[in-house]
Amino acid sequence: MSVPDYMQCAEDHQTLLVVVQPVGIVPEESFYRIYRRISAVSQVNVRDSQRVLYIRYRHHYPPENNEWGDFQTHRKVVGLITITDCSSAKDWPQTFEKFHLQKEMYSSTLYDSRLFVFGLQGEIAEQPRTDVAFYPSYDECETVEKRIEDFIESLFIVLESKRLDRATDKSGDKIPLLCVPFEKKDFVGLDTDSRHYKKRCQGRMRKHVGDLCLQAGMLQDSLVHYHMAVELLRSVNDFLWLGAALEGLCSASVIYHYPGGTGGKVGSRRAQGGSVSAEAGNRHRPGKKGI
């Protein structure tokens, strides 16, 4: 059963969800110190483009919510950043194994992941790697923000690939039927060659592409896809997905008509084109104050 987030707003539909978690025993103060720096990088301009990517960070996200990622892509964990303490080379294999186990939790939706290691020095730390960053201490990690920007660029490459692949009209190919978790058992044995079924598949995929366009910074394209999805889904009485398409359409419209945002100070920062502070990543997050 998914856990609802009642604090979401229209702008969340255009964000990529990245989970930041500790691996092993990490001092709480140190973790949140790095987490705040990571979550400050919540807006990145796409290189050689006018598009902007918005990132939503969470330090806790129920895995069951991830199952709704096909229904609404902003609910899908696409990035994982893990933080760990490791001061001894002999502990490194076990630490790296824990990192892989952490990835398994979100493996079905993950685009890319990173491991930030603090305290380990020597031969292992000197080996160049794209998925692991080594820092001598929590005080000597000046490149954290740059690493996050590079990480977000890698997420964009995967996102753009998926968007282009699914937006392409593949005449003759069967379009898969996207489902929410509780629907999967209901569609067993259906006539997959019927016109009704094909329209349902087309409508859901069109809505899905609208989500991807919105996340990829292509607002106008997302509006087109959402409108097409609404017409297709309405014609086959696919009410759940019709509602989701209308929600996406409303969110895209709000983002278009209110470029300054609807989140108060957060929105005004976005309008100015500057990086949104950690406050933006935390406005939906109950619990620890200032996180």
32 domain residue, yes or no: yes
Average pLDDT of the chain, as a whole number: 86
Mean pLDDT of the region 12-26 = 95
Same domain for 29 and 149? Answer: yes
Same domain for 137 and 193? Answer: no
Same domain for 33 and 177? Answer: no
5 domain residue, yes or no: no
What's residue 8's pLDDT?
Answer: 83
pLDDT tens-digit map of 249-289 = 999 999 999 888 776 544 433 433 333 333 344 443 333 33
pLDDT tens-digit map of 84-108 = 999 889 999 999 999 999 999 999 9
243 domain residue, yes or no: yes
Decide if pLDDT at 190 tops 80: no
Same domain for 134 and 184? Answer: no
Same domain for 181 and 139? Answer: no
Same domain for 192 and 230? Answer: yes
* Structural domain harbouring 186: 169-257
Same domain for 175 and 209? Answer: yes
pLDDT tens-digit map of 104-113 = 999 999 999 9
Of 208 and 1, which is predicted with more confidence?
Answer: 208
Instruction: Compute the distance between CA of residue 258 and CA of residue 221 in angstroms, rounded to an integer.
Output: 17
Instruction: Compute the distance between CA of residue 246 and CA of residue 166 in angstroms, rounded to an integer.
Output: 20
56 domain residue, yes or no: yes
Decide if pLDDT at 120 tops 50: yes
Instruction: Compute the distance between CA of residue 220 and CA of residue 44 in angstroms, rounded to an integer.
Output: 19
Instruction: Compute the distance between CA of residue 156 and CA of residue 49 in angstroms, rounded to an integer.
Output: 12
* pLDDT bracket for residue 244 (50, 70, 90): very high
Which residues, including other chains, have CB under 8 Å from residue 90's CB and lie 6 or more apart?
Answer: none
Decide if pLDDT at 33 tops 90: yes
What's residue 264's pLDDT?
Answer: 52
Which CATH number characterizes residue 85's domain?
3.40.50
Instruction: Compute the distance between CA of residue 28 and CA of residue 50 in angstroms, rounded to an integer.
Output: 38
Mean pLDDT of the region 207-228 = 96
In the chain, count H helices and then E strands: 9, 6
Handedness of CA 216, 74, 10, 288 (dihedral sign): negative
* pLDDT bracket for residue 171 (50, 70, 90): low
Decide if pLDDT at 228 tops 70: yes
Same domain for 208 and 122? Answer: no
* pLDDT bracket for residue 188 (50, 70, 90): low
Decide if pLDDT at 199 tops 70: yes
CA angle (223, 266, 163) in 5-degree steps: 30
Split into its structural domains, the chain has a count of 2
Same domain for 177 and 138? Answer: no
Same domain for 174 and 30? Answer: no
Same domain for 126 and 18? Answer: yes
Of 164 and 264, which is predicted with more confidence?
Answer: 164
Same domain for 29 and 123? Answer: yes
162 domain residue, yes or no: no
CA angle (34, 115, 155) in 5-degree steps: 95
4 domain residue, yes or no: no
What's residue 123's pLDDT?
Answer: 87
